[in-house]
Structure 1
Amino acid sequence: MARRVLILGIGNILWGDEGFGVRAVEAFHRRYALPDHVTLLDGGTQGLYLVQYVREADDLLVFDAIDYGLAPGTLKIVRDGEVPKFTGSKKMSLHQTGFQEVLSAADLLGDYPSRLALVGCQPLDLENWGGPLTEPVRGAVAAAVTVAHDILLEWGVDCVLRAEPLSPELALLKHDIDHQSYESRKGVGAAGEWRD
């Protein structure tokens, strides 16, 4: 029986670079087709609602914006037991559960993934309400997708490159919150600057 794999993007697309994880999992979905034993999920800011998904996974790959204290747009990959140290990142409200608590709850309930990988990106701006990803973070999304692909291949997951990216109606995010629609509607210029 194939190992159950969860590819999870977490973050809030309404807070600038905090949306990196969601945008990365969205880009991964557009680029690669995956076997049935792999679940691709926009976890957004669902907090403890993600516990059941994590408990069901044998292997877990997470995309997230993490403040490592590095240059903006820098990717850092963290594995296995090191992952919880980096997932207690800034919460946007008192009601939002950090992913560290999700991992702790899964562990407490006795179902914890045996392999974890965190593809984290150093944000530049987490305070830009309604704003887009900043240019360095936007530029890191494609590299994050490549890193995730390599990790999944290492785990034995067959990622098939799509002949063409998925059309908008088949995208992971719909209703104009997909990356391209959201930023073009909001007015991001060619160089990534924000226009109202």
Structure 2
Amino acid sequence: MPEYLEKETLILGCGNILLADDGFGFAVVQRLNELKETTPKLKSETVGIIDAGTGASHFILSLIDEESKVKKVIIADIIDYGLKPGELTRLYPDDLPKIPKYHIDAHDMPLAGMLNDIHNRYGIEVVVIGCQYKYMSAPDVCVELSEEVTAAVDKAAEMVLEELEK
């Protein structure tokens, strides 16, 4: 069994750092790793912080079963929910199918079904800390977040910490 399945809480940062605001999940994971030194809850052996990139989240989540110790999954990712750029929201399993998707490609494989499955089948709490993106550079490469999304990273990290307290 992979080590991360021994954790009670998994924090996954999803996205592609090469596609502008899609690097939001990575930035949140990076910030949480910085906070480990001053935040005992993040240092806990029961919490796993993972940069899941663009596809690893599917592999990570697909291995969860009745033998894993995972009780909660927190995902940081961009969303297209019609909010103001940089606006954050919490989404739960019942909210996920309602997220509008305008296209699906290898990068945009929807997680909603898998998140609902692990929630319903194994009773795992699932929350997505979603940030409305301003700019996705695909197919061009841009390794910078927009100002609005950059400004949301610290608040998103705080939201993750709040979820750890629940």
TM tier, smaller: 0.7 to 0.9
- The answer to whether the 8 A contact 1:25-1:42 is kept is yes
Is structure 2 residue 17 aligned with structure 1 residue 13?
yes
CA distance, structure 1, for counterparts of residue 77 and residue 100 of structure 2: 8
Aligned pair count reads: 150
Q: Which of 39, 42, 53 is 1:44 aligned to?
A: 53
Compared CA separation, residues 3 and 14, structure 1 to 2 (3 A): closer
Compared CA separation, residues 28 and 84, structure 1 to 2 (3 A): farther
Greater relative contact order, per chain length (Cα 8 Å cut-off, separation 6+): 2
Is structure 2 residue 127 aligned with structure 1 residue 117?
yes
Is structure 2 residue 90 aligned with structure 1 residue 77?
yes
**Letter paired with 2:109:** T
Question: Displacement, 1:84?
Answer: 4.8
Is structure 2 residue 157 aligned with structure 1 residue 145?
yes
Compared CA separation, residues 23 and 84, structure 1 to 2 (3 A): farther
Question: Displacement, 1:66?
Answer: 0.4
CA distance, structure 2, for counterparts of residue 83 and residue 29 of structure 1: 27
After TM superposition, what 4+ stretches of structure 1 lie above 3 angstroms from structure 2? Answer: 52-56, 83-91, 93-96, 104-108
Matches of residues 15-30 of structure 1 in structure 2 within 5 Å?
15-30=19-34
Question: Displacement, 1:126?
Answer: 1.1
SS at match of 2:83: coil
Compared CA separation, residues 3 and 23, structure 1 to 2 (3 A): closer
Moved more, 141-150 or 123-132: 123-132
**TM-score w.r.t. length of structure 1:** 0.65
Question: Displacement, 1:85?
Answer: 3.8
- The answer to whether the 8 A contact 2:9-2:47 is kept is yes
CA distance, structure 2, for counterparts of residue 89 and residue 106 of structure 1: 25
State the superposition RMSD in angstroms. 2.8
Structure 2 unaligned segments of length 5 or more: list them.
Answer: 1-5, 37-41
SS at match of 2:128: strand
- The answer to whether the 8 A contact 2:55-2:107 is kept is no
Question: Displacement, 1:151?
Answer: 1.5
**Letter paired with 2:128:** L
**TM-score w.r.t. length of structure 2:** 0.76
Compared CA separation, residues 84 and 42, structure 1 to 2 (3 A): farther
Moved more, 31-40 or 134-143: 31-40
Structure 1 unaligned segments of length 5 or more: list them.
Answer: 155-196
Q: If you compute each CA radius of gyration, which structure gives the higher value, 1 or 2?
A: 1
CA distance, structure 2, for counterparts of residue 89 and residue 107 of structure 1: 25
CA distance, structure 2, for counterparts of residue 151 and residue 95 of structure 1: 26
